[in-house]
Amino acid sequence: MLGRRVPLIMRGTRFVFALGLLALVGCNKQAATADKPDKKDDDSPGVHLKAEEVEGLGLTKAPAVTERYLPGARGYGVVTALDAIAQADSELVTAEAAAAQSQAAAARARSLSTGPEAAISQEQVQVAEAKAAADQAALALARRKADAAFGLNPPWRDSAARSRIMAALGNGRAVLVRATFPLGSLGPGVPASLSVTPLDSDGGALSARQIWEAPSDPAIPGRSFYLLLDGAHLAQGQRVAVTAPTGAPVTGIRVPASALVLSASQSWAYVETKPDTFLRVPVDISKPVPGGYFQPAGGPIAAGQAIVTGGAGLLLARETNPSTEPEE
C-alpha cells in the first residue's frame, strides 16, 4: 500500500505546482497590462487615439505661429477702371487748353482794337471775350465733374503732378482704389495710412502712399477714400479689403483657416494636448489675418502648440459620434 501511495502524492504535488505557475504568469501579464493603460480608459478631456488611428485618419498638424495684429477698422474697396480716370482727365485737359487759348485770343483782340489804327472792331473783341468766358465756364464744369468723381483734394492739382500720376496709372505702375468704411468705424479726418489686401489672396498687405477723401458712395453708407498704390499689380475692377489702424499692435497667435470646424454655431480647432490626444477649443474669427485668424495671447492655444490643420472634421465626427470609432 505504501508503494502505491507515493506516486499519487507526487502527482498531486506536480498538479499544485503547475497551478501556482499558471497563476504567477497571469499575475505578470496583468501587471504588464497595468503598466500600459489603454487610451480609451484615459479620463482626460479630448479625443484619445492610437498612433495607427492618427495615421489612418490622415491627420496633419502644424505649430501655432506667433502673429502681430494691428487693430483697425475694416472696409472694402474696388480698383477704379482706367477708362473712368482717362475720361475725366481728358475732359479737364481739353477744357484747360481751350480756356487758355480763348483767354489769349481775347487779350490779343483787345490790344488790336485800341488806338487810332485799330485793326479789329469792338464787335470782334466782344466775340473773343464771349468765347473766353464760355471756355472758362466749360473749364469750371470740367473741374466740378472731376471733383465729384475724385474728391476735392486729389494729388494731381498741378499739371506736372497730373501728368506723372496719369502716366503711372496708364502703364500699370500704380492703381487707384476707392475704399468705403462703415459709418462710425473711423474717427474724423483722413487716415494716416491704409493697408490693402486682395479678397482672393492670402498674401501680405499693400500700403497706400497717398490718401484723400472721396465723395460718398450712394450705394453704401459710410466714409469713402481714394488711395494710390504703387506697383500693386491689381486688376481693374478687382475687389479688395482695406484696413485703417485704430490702435496699438498686439501679439498673439494665428490659427490657420484650414484648421477650423463649425459646430453649434461656433468655430473650433483641435490642438494636441499630449501625444495622440486632441482637444477641441473655440476660435474667435472676428480678427482675420492673411492665412487665418488672430487669437490674443493667453487663450486656449499657446504659441508652438500643435494645431490639427488637416482632418479636423474627422476628429469632430469621432468626438460627436463615438460609433464612428473602428472596431477592436
- pLDDT score recorded for residue 21: 47
Identify the three-state secondary structure at position 240: strand
- Using CA atoms, how far apart are residues 250 and 193, in angstroms rounded to an integer? 18
Could you count the other beta carbons within 10 Å of the beta carbon of residue 152?
11
- pLDDT score recorded for residue 189: 87
Q: What is the pTM of this model?
A: 0.60
> What are the cell numbers at 36?
500600459
- Using CA atoms, how far apart are residues 182 and 197, in angstroms rounded to an integer? 17
- pLDDT score recorded for residue 281: 97
pLDDT in tens, the chain (328 residues): 444 444 544 455 554 444 444 444 454 544 444 444 454 566 788 899 999 999 999 999 999 999 999 888 989 999 999 888 888 888 988 999 999 999 999 999 888 888 777 788 888 889 999 999 999 999 999 989 888 888 888 888 788 888 888 888 888 889 999 999 998 888 888 988 898 988 876 556 788 878 999 998 888 888 999 999 987 788 889 999 998 988 888 999 999 999 999 999 999 999 999 999 999 999 999 998 888 999 999 999 999 999 999 999 999 999 988 766 655 5
- Using CA atoms, how far apart are residues 280 and 261, in angstroms rounded to an integer? 10
Q: Which of 194, 168, 157 is nearest to 179 (CA)?
A: 194
Contact predicate 113/124, CB 8 Å: yes
- pLDDT score recorded for residue 323: 65
Instruction: Compute the C-alpha angle 275/281/285, nearest 5°.
Output: 130
Domains of the chain listed by start with CATH number: 41-71+250-324 (2.40.420.20), 74-245 (no CATH)
Distances (CA, A) of 239 to 73, 177, 180, 210, 235: 17, 9, 12, 19, 9
Q: Which of 267, 110, 92 is nearest to 163 (CA)?
A: 92
Could you count the other beta carbons within 10 Å of the beta carbon of residue 57?
17
Bridge partner list, 225: 179, 213
The one-character DSSP state at 168 is H
Q: Which of 303, 203, 202 is nearest to 253 (CA)?
A: 303
Bridge pairing between strands 210-213 and 288-289? unpaired
- Using CA atoms, how far apart are residues 143 and 141, in angstroms rounded to an integer? 5
Phi, psi of 271 (to 5 degrees): -115, 150
- pLDDT score recorded for residue 6: 45
